[in-house]
């Protein structure tokens, strides 16, 4: 019977669809629960027959397989329930092995339940796995994901032996919580480093907006250490490239991706290249990368990236044409795609086209606008001086997503076009939502001053001083 179960596992491992795979795992779970007594009683005969020991090993392998699928799947709690069931029916002490506890610890990590993790930590100690490198590494990863940095460090310090995976688990854990100082300390102490270690530190510096250090670390890894970046490394370095507008570095990464084959194999790299070139100021290179991608490989992110690139360069007509070209391929736009084309219409002055895109998004694609979509439309109408229409849309924003930013956008448009009456009305609405931002008072004061109402302008500024409204300090690179 156990052999049939093993064959069934091999069949399951080739299933690709997650739902059918999960259903099949549950079927196997049920078959084992209601297995013949000769199978379930293998534990009783352990000490009497050597064949029973082999059966027990096979049986544990089956349970571990199911535990692993539950722990890494959509419902990690099921792994815990199964373990509790097995504990109640297992008749041999120390039936579970290191794999069992590793999968259970992974389940608690995915559930972000440190309490459960600590209980499993105690069980592993009781079962004699306190020095087992894989179990202890799983504990470090679990504690880090649960935010228990001190406990993770304690487990690490008490380990008599550590491998590269152990060091990387501690390193990436500190990076996840933004503790770059501790991460750098671990990185410096590592007896050896691989691409995962370097990528983790690069990603950490990028997340903390220390872009120069991220680029420097990338250069050290490639030039001085001779470690080849993976596609994950490239994805980690892109934010540093486009935030520093370092187009030469972007070209180097582009060339490396072409040589290593990542450009051809990973669409994420190509999509980031389009975005990076555009943010570095070169729409020509962004368009060249886009055109180098075969049409059948272009996905919704690819099209959204080029539309967004045109938008940030004020090329509204090109963005609109790209949107139409995307629809011709049969791809369905998502909320980010519509936001990109709305921004393009806003910056390019294509107001009627932008309103039509907004209408299609809501009516044809059943996409519920969020605050960014509303803000883009209001900005577009405000730039064109169609303030009444902008006010009407602002009034229609649902209360659960509305915020003061869209009203400030409209106030800025009132200031630009010198509309005093609406500026006062919008300011009153803003004051009901937030009174402590000095920029609102300054805009209204400027509106009054722009039409010669200097007394009212001074009154608003005096009121701002009485309210102790916060004023943003001016900065200059000169």
Q: Which two tokens stand for residue 52?
A: 């029973």
For every one of its 478 residues, what pLDDT tens digit does the chain have, with 9 covering 90 and above? 555 555 555 565 555 555 555 666 666 666 566 555 444 444 444 444 555 556 667 777 777 888 888 888 888 888 888 888 777 765 554 468 889 999 999 999 999 999 999 999 999 998 889 889 999 999 999 999 999 999 999 999 999 999 999 999 999 999 999 999 999 999 999 999 999 999 999 999 999 999 999 999 999 999 999 999 999 999 999 999 999 999 999 999 999 999 998 888 899 999 999 999 999 999 999 999 999 999 999 999 999 999 999 999 999 999 999 999 999 999 999 999 999 999 999 999 999 999 999 999 999 999 999 999 999 999 999 999 999 999 999 998 888 887 788 888 898 888 888 888 888 888 888 877 766 666 667 777 777 777 677 776 777 677 666 655 656 565 555 5
Q: Judge residue 390's burial from the number of C-beta atoms within 10 Å of its C-beta, 0-12 exposed, 13-18 middle, 19 or more buried.
A: buried
Distance CA 8, CA 135 (A): 28
SS3 252: helix
Name the fold adopted by 396-472.
1.25.40
pTM of the entire structure? 0.79
Interatomic CA distance for residues 445 and 420, integer angstroms:
10
Burial zone of 122 (CB within 10 Å; 0-12 exposed, 13-18 middle, 19+ buried): exposed
Question: Can you read off the two tokens belonging to residue 188?
Answer: 């410096």
Beta bridge partners of 384: none
Report CA 64 to chain centroid distance, whole Å.
30
């Amino acid at each position: 019977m156990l052999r049939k179960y093993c064959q069934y596992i091999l069949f399951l491992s080739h299933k690709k669809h997650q739902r059918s795979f999960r259903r099949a795992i549950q079927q196997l779970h049920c078959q084992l629960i209601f297995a013949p007594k000769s199978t379930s009683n293998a534990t009783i005969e352990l000490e009497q027959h050597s064949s029973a020991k082999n059966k027990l090993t096979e049986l544990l392998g089956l349970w571990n397989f199911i535990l692993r699928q539950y722990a890494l799947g959509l419902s990690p709690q099921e792994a815990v329930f199964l373990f509790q069931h097995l504990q109640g029916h297992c008749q041999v002490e120390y039936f579970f092995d290191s794999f069992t506890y590793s999968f259970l610890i992974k389940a608690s990590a995915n559930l972000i339940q440190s309490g459960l993790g600590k209980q499993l930590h105690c069980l592993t100690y009781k079962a004699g796995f306190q020095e087992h490198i894989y179990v202890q590494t799983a504990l470090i990863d679990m504690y880090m994901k649960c935010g228990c940095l001190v406990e993770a460090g304690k487990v690490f310090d008490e380990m008599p032996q550590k491998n590269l995976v152990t060091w990387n688990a501690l390193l990436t854990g500190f990076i996840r919580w933004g503790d770059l100082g501790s991460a750098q300390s671990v990185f410096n102490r590592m007896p050896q480093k691989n691409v995962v270690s370097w990528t983790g530190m690069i990603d950490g510096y990028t997340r903390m907006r220390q872009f120069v250090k991220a680029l420097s670390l990338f250069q050290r890894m490639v030039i001085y250490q001779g470690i080849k970046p993976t596609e994950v490394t490239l994805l980690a370095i892109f934010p540093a490239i486009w935030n520093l507008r370092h187009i030469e570095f972007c070209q180097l990464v582009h060339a490396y991706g072409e040589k290593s084959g990542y450009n051809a194999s990973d669409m994420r790299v190509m999509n980031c290249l389009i975005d990076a070139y555009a943010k570095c100021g070169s729409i020509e290179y962004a368009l060249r990368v886009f055109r180098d991608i075969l049409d059948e490989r272009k996905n919704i992110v690819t099209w959204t990236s080029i539309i967004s690139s045109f938008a940030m360069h004020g090329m509204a007509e090109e963005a609109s044409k790209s949107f139409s070209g995307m629809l011709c391929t049969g791809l369905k736009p998502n909320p980010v795609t519509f936001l990109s084309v709305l921004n393009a219409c806003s910056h390019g002055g294509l107001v009627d086209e932008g309103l039509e895109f907004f209408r299609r998004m809501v009516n044809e694609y059943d996409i519920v606008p969020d605050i960014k979509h509303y803000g883009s439309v209001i900005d577009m109408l405000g730039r064109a001086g169609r303030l009444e229409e902008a006010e009407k849309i602002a009034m229609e924003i649902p209360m659960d997503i509305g915020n003061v930013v869209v009203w400030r956008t409209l106030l800025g448009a009132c200031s630009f076009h010198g509309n005093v009456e609406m500026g006062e009305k919008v300011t009153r609405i803003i004051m009901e939502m937030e009174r402590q931002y000095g920029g609102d008072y300054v805009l209204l004061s400027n509106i009054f001053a722009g039409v010669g109402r200097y007394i009212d302008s001074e009154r608003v500024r005096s009121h701002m001083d009485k309210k102790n409204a916060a004023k943003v300090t001016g900065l200059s690179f000169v």
